[in-house]
Amino acid sequence: MDAQLKTQASQPLDWWPSPAKLNLFLHILGRYENGYHQLQSLFQMLDYGDRLAFTVVQNSTIEMATPLEGVPDDENLIIKAARLLAKETGYKGGVSISLDKRLPMGGGIGGGSSNAATTLVALNHLWGTGLQEDALAELGLSLGADVPIFVRGLTAFAGGVGEEITAAPQEEKYYLVANPNVHVSTADVFTSPDLPRNTPAMKWEDYKFENTHNDCQQLVANCHPEVAKLLQWLVHYAPSRMTGTGACVFAAFSDYTLAEQVKAEMPDTWQSFVAKGVNRSPLLDKLEEQK
């Protein structure tokens, strides 16, 4: 290890938040000619998620200091985001990235997309590449439809394929988020002939949780009985719904203590956490602190 890396390795890591999100509802309005689906959804930011730390190096190496098991660097959205930012801005240096992974992969709570967004936002600052938020969001869209939501960092309504974003502050509730420990393929959900694709468009100002639904939920519950079982268990305690294409399920509470009490009663076979719904991502707060 060279002297520069030794010095950096001896310093405590500076962690950047990579928060989870929930889709409080997900309506599928139809399908575009290119095969993408026209959606409406409400993305609720949470104050809980993964963390990433970035050690800037002078050479051009971009690598994970903590590789994800089963995910080669070339397929990792974190590495893809860093390489994309370097390419688009002409940045010649590199970075070693550490990941503290707490969110389940493939759970529908945005772990991979959030990781990519945090990488774009943090490295744009640390590398001094100077892109504005709109440009970062546009880069993020090429990595995944949900990445711009995390770049902008606000609880928001989304339309189109998810890129039409309107900030929509919500009452800050507490959410018990549970993982039924099954993997749901987003591609399989969106290519299924049984997926509803004809929900009428709604006006954002008419939103109420009880007047919305998740068009993917029944299909996923039919294919994955453990998701159905978890939903049936949670709904006895509070309004509950699957997020995104699953597999995670959430229940909404106005009281933190009650959410924790229900979590304590949950069978050990399901992993879960309680988080506060926030209108501003902790990633934006971290960026503000750095300026």
Catalytic residue (choose from 21, 80, 173, 286) = 21
Residue among 219, 275, 269 nearest 245 (CA)? 219
Asked if residues 64 and 225 have their Cβ atoms less than 8 Å apart, the reply is no
Nearest alpha-carbon partner for 99 in 40, 29, 160, 50: 50
Joined together, the tokens standing for residue 105 give 């992969």
254 half-sphere exposure, CB direction, 13 A CA radius: 1
- For the question of residue 21 being annotated catalytic, the response is yes
* Sign of the C-alpha dihedral computed for residues 120, 149, 216 and 268 taken in this order: positive
Whether 21 and 110 have beta carbons less than 8 Å apart is answered as yes
286 a catalytic residue: no
Task: Report yes or no: 259 and 253 within 8 Å, Cβ to Cβ.
Answer: yes
Structure tokens at 222: 């039919």
The whole-angstrom separation of Cα 105 and Cα 267 is 21
Q: Which of 50, 80, 146, 173 is catalytic?
A: 146
Report whether the peptide linkage leading into residue 247 is cis, meaning its omega lies within 30 degrees of zero: yes
- Looking at the DSSP bridge assignments, the partners of residue 175 are 252, 275
Residue 113 near residue 151, CB atoms below 8 Å: no
Hey, what are 99's tokens?
Answer: 């990941």
- Nearest residue to 9 via CA among 48, 63, 55: 55
Residues annotated catalytic, as ranges? 21, 146
